[in-house]
Amino acid sequence: MFDCKNLTGIGIASAIRERPNLRSFSITLSEAIISMELIDSLRSLKRLSCLDLSFSYISDQLLLYLADKGLNLRRLVLRGCSGYSYMGICYFLSNSDFLQHLDLQHAT
């Protein structure tokens, strides 16, 4: 789904719920499409081990929500992302027991 400008957070959340056994998910999020429904759908993926949010707007709040539900992420890719702080990353790391790989290349 490259260059799909009309996707909404609700639409993406609905698609995620159709595949509850996803182990890997990659998407670029703009600030406009991040919603609680989308965040809740990501948190519901109990088998998710790899989340790639490259070139997305990632708020500290999103990192807090992802960390608080105890996802068993082994790999988180935030390459080229913006919007989060050092504190958000620290909180996420301190609550992510299974994380083995964190990619922050070209983060701003």
Q: Each residue of 19-77: pLDDT tens digit?
A: 999 999 998 887 766 778 888 888 889 899 999 999 988 999 889 988 876 678 999 99
Any domain includes 2: no
41 lies in which domain range?
23-103
- In contact, 33 and 9? CB cutoff 8 Å: yes
Q: Which of 63, 77, 72 is nearest to 44 (CA)?
A: 72
Any domain includes 12: no
- The single-letter code of the amino acid at 12 is I
Any domain includes 65: yes
Any domain includes 94: yes
Q: How many structural domains comprise the chain?
A: 1
Any domain includes 76: yes
pLDDT tens digits for 66-105?
A: 887 667 899 999 999 999 999 999 999 999 989 999 999 9
Any domain includes 1: no
Any domain includes 17: no
Beta bridge partners of 77: 52, 103
- In contact, 81 and 58? CB cutoff 8 Å: yes
Q: Which of 50, 42, 6 is nearest to 24 (CA)?
A: 50
Any domain includes 4: no
